[in-house]
Amino acid sequence: MASSSRVEILNEGGLRVDGRRPYELRSVSMTFSPQAHADGSATMQQGLTTVTVSVFGPREPRSRANAIHDRANLVVEVGVAGWSQPGVGQRNRGDKRLTEVGATIRQTFEPVIMSHLYPRSEISIYVQVLGSDGGILPTAINATTLALIDAGVAMTDYITSLSVGLHLTQPLLDLSSPEESDIPYLVVASLPGTGKVTLATLETRIHVDRFEEMLAVGVEGCKILKAEMEGEVKKRTGTMVERMKLNALPDRAGGMKDSDRDILMT
């Protein structure tokens, strides 16, 4: 697994390959409801890695056998665009890896989505990777969080995720593709409110003593990311709420005020 070119992960000035500092995240961009026909969707871009997630549901399960009597059934499917990175078309172990990524995302969100509110229904999450420059899994998880919020699916908290690498003894946050292929790293996803870890995966050897520090750095980074995401979500929610106020039917004969309805809560 030698890297193709000897890239300097960290130069003497303490800067990484793309000029970032060790704990600096890549620039982030979020778009809500890019897929208007889905119940909820979001596109998340971290650096050049772009992932779009569409959420359908809760809705009737496509196969009766999948209906669970007291909770919603979560289905996750992952696809990678052929153009997302060079050489992708040549690999055919793609399939198993994608199934694994889908299973990972499903297991990560299962405890956070309040699925007991939607018995006998199915929530389908479709992940599409459009650009791949390292950190596909973390970006997919972040985009899924936004898409679920966009769809109005009840969750206990955001789930934000980042990759954390290790260069010698220095942890690095949010790795790009050349960094991922060169240094050992782990992907962590956490619930920023409590700082607890809900996903931790690594496939490259890391010494146990270094592991703890990387986890801690990752969890902190996730909190920062959540603040970003929450800001965008609230801003957009605010705009939508303003629009909804338009036309607030009022005093027309026969029209019920929304505030009247509220009291009829069940």
Partner 1 sequence: MLQVISVPPIPLFHADDVTAEFSKTRHHPDVQDDLDSDMDVDDEYGTGLGVGSSSRAGKNITSPGEVVTSAKEFMRGHGTYTEGDNVLSTVAGTIERVNKLVSVRSVRQRYNPEKGDLVIGRVIEVVQQRWKVDTNARQDAILALSSVNLPGGVQRRKVETDALKMREFLAEGDLLVAEVQSVENAPQLHTRSLRYGKLRNGLLLTVPPSLIRRLKSHFHTLPPPCGPLGVDVIMGVNGYIWVSVSVGERNNAAVEGFVDAEGVYSDVNDDISQSSRLAISQVANLIMLFARYSIPLSDTLLSDAYAWCRDNGLTKSGQMMDKEMEKRCLTEITGMDVREEL
Partner 2 sequence: MPRDIPVPTINRSFVQAALEKGHRLDGRRPLERRRLLIQFPDPEETSVSGLGRVEVSLGKTKVLARVSAELTNPRSDRPFEGLLSITSEIGPLAGEAFHGEGRTTEEEVILTRLLEKAIRRSEAVDREALCVVAGEKVWHIKLHIHFLSSDGNLIDAGCLAGMTALRHFRRPEVERLDRDDGMAAIWKVYPTDERAPVPLSIHHTPLCVTFAYLEGNLLLLDPTSQESQIASGTLTLTLNAQRELCVLSKAGGNPLGVEELMKVVTLGVDVVREMTSEMESALKADEAVRIVDVR
Q: Does 118 bind partner 1 (CB under 8 A)?
A: yes
Token representation of residue 135: 């950190």
Which parts of 48-107 interact with partner 1 (CB under 8 A)?
Answer: 57-60
> In a 3-state reduction of DSSP, which class is residue 229?
helix
For residues 112 and 192, is the Cβ–Cβ distance under 8 A? no
* Residue 202 contact among partner 1, partner 2, none, beta carbon within 5 to 8 Å by kind: partner 2
Beta strands in 33-152 (DSSP E): 40-46, 49-59, 73-80, 122-131
Q: In which element (H, E) is residue 106 found?
A: helix 94-109
**Which range of residues in 86-94, 180-188, 197-205, 226-234 is near partner 1 by CB under 8 A?**
226-234
Report the sign of the C-alpha dihedral through residues 121, 149, 34, 81, in that order.
negative
C-beta pairs of 88-91 under 8 Å, 24+ apart in sequence: 88/132
Task: Give, as ranges, the residues between 158 and 217 that touch partner 1 (CB under 8 A).
Answer: 158, 173, 191-193, 217
Given the DSSP bridges, would you call strands 73-80 and 40-46 parallel, antiparallel or unpaired? unpaired
Among 13, 82, 87, 254, binds partner 1 (CB under 8 A): 254
Compute the least distance from the CB of residue 111 to partner 2, in Å. 6
Closer residue to partner 1, CB minimum distance, 104 or 145: 145
Of 81, 130, 155, 215, which one interacts with partner 2 (CB under 8 A)? 215
Q: Which does 42 bind (CB under 5 to 8 A by kind): partner 1, partner 2, none?
A: none
Residue 39 engages partner 1 in binding (rule: CB under 8 A): yes
> Taking CB under 8 A as the rule, does residue 232 contact partner 2?
no
Report the candidate in 159, 163, 139 with the shortest Cα–Cα distance to residue 149. Answer: 159
In angstroms, the CA 77 to CA 55 distance is 11
Of 68 and 94, which has the nearer Cβ to partner 1?
68
- Least Å from the CB of residue 266 to partner 1: 8
Whose Cβ is closer to partner 2: residue 96's or residue 243's?
Answer: 96
